[in-house]
Structure 1
Protein backbone atom coordinates (compact mmCIF):
# COMPACT_ATOMS: atom_id res chain seq x y z
CA UNK A 1 0.00 0.00 0.00
CA UNK A 2 1.11 3.49 -0.75
CA UNK A 3 1.53 6.06 1.97
CA UNK A 4 -1.24 8.64 2.06
CA UNK A 5 -0.04 12.21 2.66
CA UNK A 6 -1.38 14.01 5.72
CA UNK A 7 -2.36 17.14 3.77
CA UNK A 8 -6.08 16.37 3.91
CA UNK A 9 -5.97 16.19 7.68
CA UNK A 10 -4.57 19.71 7.98
CA UNK A 11 -7.16 21.15 5.56
CA UNK A 12 -9.99 19.71 7.63
CA UNK A 13 -8.97 21.57 10.80
CA UNK A 14 -11.65 23.89 12.20
CA UNK A 15 -11.30 27.35 13.74
CA UNK A 16 -9.56 27.74 17.07
CA UNK A 17 -11.93 29.02 19.74
CA UNK A 18 -9.14 30.63 21.78
CA UNK A 19 -7.80 32.50 18.74
CA UNK A 20 -11.30 33.72 17.86
CA UNK A 21 -11.82 35.00 21.41
CA UNK A 22 -8.46 36.79 21.39
CA UNK A 23 -9.17 38.34 17.97
CA UNK A 24 -12.60 39.49 19.15
CA UNK A 25 -11.28 41.04 22.34
CA UNK A 26 -8.46 42.78 20.45
CA UNK A 27 -10.80 44.24 17.84
CA UNK A 28 -13.23 45.30 20.56
CA UNK A 29 -10.52 47.10 22.51
CA UNK A 30 -9.24 48.86 19.39
CA UNK A 31 -12.74 49.96 18.34
CA UNK A 32 -13.54 51.06 21.90
CA UNK A 33 -10.31 53.06 22.10
CA UNK A 34 -11.04 54.85 18.82
CA UNK A 35 -14.61 55.59 19.95
CA UNK A 36 -13.33 56.94 23.28
CA UNK A 37 -10.76 59.16 21.52
CA UNK A 38 -13.54 60.54 19.30
CA UNK A 39 -15.64 61.42 22.35
CA UNK A 40 -12.69 62.99 24.18
CA UNK A 41 -12.05 65.18 21.12
CA UNK A 42 -15.73 66.15 20.90
CA UNK A 43 -15.81 66.97 24.62
CA UNK A 44 -12.65 69.08 24.32
CA UNK A 45 -14.11 71.08 21.42
CA UNK A 46 -17.33 71.71 23.33
CA UNK A 47 -15.40 72.79 26.43
CA UNK A 48 -13.24 75.18 24.38
CA UNK A 49 -16.34 76.68 22.76
CA UNK A 50 -18.00 77.43 26.09
CA UNK A 51 -14.77 78.83 27.55
CA UNK A 52 -14.43 81.22 24.60
CA UNK A 53 -18.11 82.13 24.93
CA UNK A 54 -17.65 82.98 28.63
CA UNK A 55 -14.55 85.11 27.89
CA UNK A 56 -16.51 87.06 25.29
CA UNK A 57 -14.08 86.23 22.49
CA UNK A 58 -16.87 84.72 20.40
CA UNK A 59 -20.60 85.29 20.20
CA UNK A 60 -23.56 83.29 18.95
CA UNK A 61 -25.51 86.44 18.06
CA UNK A 62 -25.25 87.68 14.48
CA UNK A 63 -24.24 91.35 14.09
CA UNK A 64 -26.90 93.47 12.36
CA UNK A 65 -24.43 96.05 11.04
CA UNK A 66 -24.69 94.85 7.45
Structure 2
Protein backbone atom coordinates (compact mmCIF):
# COMPACT_ATOMS: atom_id res chain seq x y z
CA UNK A 1 0.00 0.00 0.00
CA UNK A 2 2.48 2.58 -1.17
CA UNK A 3 -0.32 4.88 -2.32
CA UNK A 4 -1.30 5.76 1.26
CA UNK A 5 1.94 7.65 2.03
CA UNK A 6 1.15 11.29 2.76
CA UNK A 7 3.76 14.02 2.28
CA UNK A 8 3.96 16.09 5.48
CA UNK A 9 6.32 18.78 4.19
CA UNK A 10 9.89 19.57 5.16
CA UNK A 11 11.05 18.88 8.68
CA UNK A 12 12.65 21.94 10.26
CA UNK A 13 14.91 19.83 12.49
CA UNK A 14 16.19 17.78 9.53
CA UNK A 15 16.79 20.94 7.49
CA UNK A 16 18.78 22.50 10.34
CA UNK A 17 20.86 19.33 10.78
CA UNK A 18 21.53 19.10 7.03
CA UNK A 19 22.49 22.78 6.93
CA UNK A 20 24.86 22.47 9.87
CA UNK A 21 26.41 19.33 8.35
CA UNK A 22 26.99 20.96 4.97
CA UNK A 23 28.33 24.09 6.65
CA UNK A 24 30.80 22.11 8.75
CA UNK A 25 32.02 20.17 5.71
CA UNK A 26 32.48 23.36 3.66
CA UNK A 27 34.23 25.04 6.59
CA UNK A 28 36.54 22.06 7.00
CA UNK A 29 37.47 22.12 3.32
CA UNK A 30 38.13 25.87 3.48
CA UNK A 31 40.28 25.41 6.59
CA UNK A 32 42.31 22.63 4.93
CA UNK A 33 42.86 24.91 1.92
CA UNK A 34 44.01 27.70 4.23
CA UNK A 35 46.41 25.41 6.12
CA UNK A 36 47.89 24.15 2.83
CA UNK A 37 48.41 27.70 1.55
CA UNK A 38 49.95 28.73 4.88
CA UNK A 39 52.32 25.74 4.79
CA UNK A 40 53.44 26.55 1.24
CA UNK A 41 54.09 30.18 2.17
CA UNK A 42 56.07 29.16 5.25
CA UNK A 43 58.19 26.72 3.20
CA UNK A 44 58.89 29.43 0.61
CA UNK A 45 60.17 31.90 3.22
CA UNK A 46 62.27 29.19 4.92
CA UNK A 47 63.94 28.37 1.60
CA UNK A 48 64.47 32.09 0.98
CA UNK A 49 66.05 32.60 4.42
CA UNK A 50 68.38 29.60 3.95
CA UNK A 51 69.50 30.93 0.56
CA UNK A 52 68.32 27.86 -1.36
CA UNK A 53 66.20 30.07 -3.61
CA UNK A 54 66.23 33.70 -4.60
CA UNK A 55 63.77 36.13 -6.11
CA UNK A 56 66.50 38.15 -7.84
CA UNK A 57 67.16 37.36 -11.48
CA UNK A 58 70.82 36.84 -12.39
CA UNK A 59 72.33 39.44 -14.71
CA UNK A 60 73.19 38.30 -18.24
CA UNK A 61 76.44 39.75 -19.58
The two structures have a TM-score, normalised by structure 2, of 0.88
Give aligned pairs, total: 59
The answer for the alignment partner of 2:42 in structure 1 is 47
The answer for the alignment partner of 1:3 in structure 2 is none
The answer for the alignment partner of 2:24 in structure 1 is 29
The answer for the alignment partner of 1:19 in structure 2 is 14
Alpha-carbon distance in structure 1 between the residues aligned to 2:32 and 2:58: 36
Unaligned runs of 5+ in 2: none
The answer for the alignment partner of 1:10 in structure 2 is 6
Unaligned runs of 5+ in 1: 1-5
Runs of 4+ in 1 over 4 A off after TM superposition: none
**Per-residue deviation, 1:24:** 0.2
The two structures have a TM-score, normalised by structure 1, of 0.82
